[in-house]
Structure 1
Amino acid sequence: MDPYDELIRLLNQQGWAVSDSAISPDWQAGLLARGQELWAGGRFRAGQVGRGVKVNLPEVRGDWIHWIETGSSEEAHPFFTWMTQFRQALNERFGMGLRSQEFHFARYAEGKGYQKHIDQHRGTDYRKVSIVLYLNPDWDAADGGELCLYQPYHPDEEMQRILPLGARLAVFVSGMIPHAVLPCRRPRWSIAGWLRTDVPNPHA
């Protein structure tokens, strides 16, 4: 079976999918170590909201991020290669016209989260598939920090809560699924990003 089959089937069927086996735990451990190294070196900045004129609203978005450039680290190479192949598989199945991908590290401090939103800026549609890879070892339900997905046509109704377990991969349709990050009770690490139909420069 193609390693992407189940993710693609569920993404097509319900607009979201989760896998605990798609990504190697070795990749997760290497990426976490790289993220922590960058964090210790002061390379992260506060996540912002908006497009064009961006603002810091920590009460809305509480993460700190660092964009990952293609080829910038040995640890990121297997993940980027896997995502390129996943993007190509989606294009082959559905003719989605996905041309690029972008990813950043995200770190939420204790007590922080991200209020409900959709991953499409108003008036744009180039973000097609949202990707989150969790990097947290030994995460427990008591630690909180779930990704909460909401019903597309009833955005006040919860659809699914996803614990940010290490090496867990979550994917969903960017312009369809409202979602939020619930407050975490200890630092929460992930890689987040999008498969896009344009070639972004700079990150939008």
Structure 2
Amino acid sequence: MNALSQSVSEVDGFNEDTLFARIAEDILQTGYSINPAALPPTLTEALYRHSQLMSPSQFVSAGIGRADDYLKNDFVRTDEICWITGESEAGTAWLHWCAELQKYLNRRLFLGLFSFESHFAHYKAGDFYKRHVDAFKGESNRKLSVVVYLNSNWYTEDGGELVIYQNWQEEKGIRVTPLMGTVVVFLSEEFPHEVLPAKRDRYSIAGWFRVNTSVAERVDPPQ
């Protein structure tokens, strides 16, 4: 654990169990959990600073699927992403926090969460991600989605809301303003969702807890 990871709980006096318990209860009751400004302040600030200092060259155009099924599709999404590998102090602290959440949810809800992957996402003004679910075609290994926002002084008129739908037919949905430190967690396969176009740069982290669907001659999640 690096110094930043340790300070998340010690310096902030942040009670992770309170947030983790709320997320677990919400997932149990409704399948999703929306928590405004809930990420520990020290971690939020570190991730925000890191996102602002990143070079544009570190981001790549996002696509759909992975490996041989990866497809760039500007009709579906136009954002840019940078995978979090733990090479930075902020990234390491984020992965540590998510590992603690994973352990808590497995202990409380018996979800069998096996691994975690996440990336920074940058939406330029006008960028979007149309309605979709967080699961690859023919696969069911993404169990739980996590989204955290890194936008200071964000106002309703700035747009860029996440909209979570109960099903594909619903029209209104639940809108989430991408305010700094807001944490959203939901069952990956159960809730279609989209990102509406924003009027200015919008930064977030998207991540997925995955279950182990390995079979003979095929390891998944890949190591």
Fold agreement, TM-score > 0.5:
yes
Any unmatched runs of 5+ in structure 1? none
Structure with the higher helix share, 1 or 2: 2
Quick check: 1:25–1:166 contact (8 Å CA) kept in 2? no
Does residue 159 of structure 1 match 2:173?
yes
Give, in whole Å, the separation in 1 of the partners of 2:172 and 2:150. 24
1:132 alignment counterpart: 147
Give, in whole Å, the separation in 1 of the partners of 2:103 and 2:128. 32
Quick check: 2:37–2:179 contact (8 Å CA) kept in 1? no
**Shift in Å, 1:21:** 4.6
2:75 alignment counterpart: 59
SS of residue in 2 equivalent to 1:60:
coil
Any unmatched runs of 5+ in structure 2? 1-14, 213-219
Does residue 18 of structure 1 match 2:26?
no
**Shift in Å, 1:125:** 0.9
Structure with the higher strand share, 1 or 2: 1
Quick check: 1:68–1:105 contact (8 Å CA) kept in 2? yes
Greater shift in the superposed pair: 16-25 or 182-191: 16-25
Q: How does 1:71-82 map to 2 (within 5 A)?
A: 72-82=87-97
Q: How does 1:98-109 map to 2 (within 5 A)?
A: 98-109=113-124
Identity of aligned residues (%): 36
**Shift in Å, 1:57:** 1.4
**Shift in Å, 1:47:** 0.3
Give, in whole Å, the separation in 2 of the partners of 1:61 and 1:161. 18
Q: TM-score, normalised by structure 1?
A: 0.91
**Shift in Å, 1:89:** 1.1
Which amino acid is the alignment partner of residue 62 of structure 2? G
Give, in whole Å, the separation in 2 of the partners of 1:32 and 1:167. 9
Aligned length: 199
Q: List structure 1 runs of 4+ shifted beyond 4 angstroms.
A: none
Greater shift in the superposed pair: 60-69 or 80-89: 80-89
SS of residue in 2 equivalent to 1:170:
strand
Greater shift in the superposed pair: 79-88 or 185-194: 79-88
Which amino acid is the alignment partner of residue 121 of structure 1? F
What is the RMSD computed on CA atoms of the aligned residues? 1.7
Quick check: 2:160–2:198 contact (8 Å CA) kept in 1? yes
1:119 alignment counterpart: 134
178, 184, 190: which is aligned to 1:170?
184
2:108 alignment counterpart: 93
Greater shift in the superposed pair: 48-57 or 167-176: 48-57
Which amino acid is the alignment partner of residue 32 of structure 1? Y
Which amino acid is the alignment partner of residue 119 of structure 2? H
Quick check: 2:141–2:221 contact (8 Å CA) kept in 1? no
Instruction: Please tell me whether Structure 1 or Structure 2 has the larger radius of gyration of its CA atoms.
Output: 2
SS of residue in 1 equivalent to 2:160:
coil
Give, in whole Å, the separation in 1 of the partners of 2:77 and 2:196. 11
